[in-house]
Amino acid sequence: MLERTWLWVREQCAFLIVLIGLAVSFAFLLAEPQHPVRGTLAIAAVSLLAALFRLVLPSASVGMLAIRNRWVDTACFLIFGGLILATDIRLRH
């Protein structure tokens, strides 16, 4: 049973890193709602990290980050992260 659990964690490692990063990002947003810059930048960075994981890691290693084919997933993560980053930069000025 424990061996199967560790196998699942190893297969889902990239997904779990992204999930923990998003949880920390949203915690920043909840902790300082009057200063959302840190949280939104972290969400954008985690989305871009997910795109990098999906682009360079094999499909068996990215776990639940693999939804469609590699290029569609990478493009979706890049667009999402880029839009959040551009919106954050635009709203600061």
Where do the structural domains in the chain lie, given as residue ranges? 2-92
pLDDT digits (tens, 9 = 90+) for 71-84: 999 999 999 999 99
**DSSP code, position 64:** G
The C-alpha atoms of residue 88 and residue 15 are separated, in whole angstroms, by: 24
Determine the pLDDT at residue 79.
97
15, 63 Cβ separation under 8 angstroms: yes
DSSP character string of 40-57: HHHHHHHHHHHHHHHHHS
For the stretch 25-75, pLDDT in tens is 999 999 988 888 888 999 999 999 999 999 999 988 898 999 899 999 999
